[in-house]
Amino acid sequence: MIQDSSKPIVITGAQKPIQMDVTDARTNLLDSFIYAADDESQGVNIVFDGKVIAGTRAKKERAKSYDAFSSINFPYLAVIQEGMIVRYIREPAYDTPVSFSYDMKDSVYVLKLIPGMHASILPYLFAHYDCLVIESFGVGGIPNTLVQEFYIEMKKWEGRGKFVVMTTQVANEGSNMTVYEVGKRVKQDFRLFEAYDMTLEAVITKMMWLMGKGTMDFEEMKKDFYTEVNHDILFTKRLESEG
């Protein structure tokens, strides 16, 4: 994983192969060159369909359309029109040297909650993975059918280097576990992280990175998890005010 790169790292692709007569590949490639060659460009970003998206905010939402990628819960950094870059967000130059992280711990499991899910799956997941990312319904929470088993497993593994991140299956607008009583109670009773406006991809990558660094203390992990990396989370100031 690469952070704070003053040299732009641009990721692109195409919905149709470059050798086809009608393709978006050549346009995307040219736009990527234009963006990468600009002195203001930095960090890891995706350039696709004339849009520049922060790497931590990109999600592919369409399988065939040219506008395949969206920027989730964050504005586009820029657009490229007729060979010109129109920047919506001007970023200060990085004041720290580029860093490379090679040790990523892949002991992360994503559990998408579905109606009728059996609670018996939880003991296995807690035993075999160090981080459980739970995609809940709506703004966040645990269904009543799973709450009791969830409580048992959380109590069993508390303080033993296991982490839980609550997020939502809904791509846009993020989670808020305090809206409903079941989510509020779980958040109050147990030490877990809430993803808020982060994308699922950013959550997974961040937890792999932090655990790969050897971070196993909950408070240290909490501090690092809520530290913004390339626009991955917007709720940092609110979280700091909550203590």
Q: Could you give the angle at which helices 144-157 and 181-189 cross, rounded to 10 degrees?
A: 10
| DSSP 3-state of 64 | coil
Domain residue spans in the chain?
2-87, 103-242
Angle, vertex CA 232, rays to CA 82 and CA 63, nearest 5? 55
The strand pairing partners of 109, in sequence order, are: 132
Q: Which CATH class is domain 2-87?
A: alpha beta
Q: Which helix H or strand E contains 221, and what residues bound it?
A: helix 218-225
Give the helix ranges, DSSP H, for 44-168: 121-128, 144-157
Name the CATH topology of 103-242: Rossmann fold (3.40.50)
Residue 227: predicted pLDDT: 93
- The amino acid present at 23, given as its one-letter code, is T
- Dump the DSSP string for 171-214: SSS---TTSSHHHHHHHHHS--EE-TT--HHHHHHHHHHHHHTT
Surface-to-core class of residue 20, CB atoms within 10 Å of its CB (0-12 exposed, 13-18 middle, 19+ buried): exposed
List, run by run, the mean pLDDT of 10-residue segments along the chain (243 residues).
94 96 96 97 97 97 96 97 95 92 94 88 92 91 79 81 92 89 81 94 97 90 93 71 48
Query: 103-242: same fold as 2-87?
Result: yes
Question: How is residue 55 annotated by DSSP?
Answer: G
Handedness of CA 83, 89, 94, 99 (dihedral sign): negative
CB count in 10 Å sphere of residue 40: 12
Q: Give the C-alpha distances (Å, rounded to integers) separating 23 from 20, 83, 135.
A: 6, 18, 35
Residue 236: predicted pLDDT: 57
Residue 238: predicted pLDDT: 54
Residue 165: predicted pLDDT: 95
Which residue matches tokens 């059918």?
145
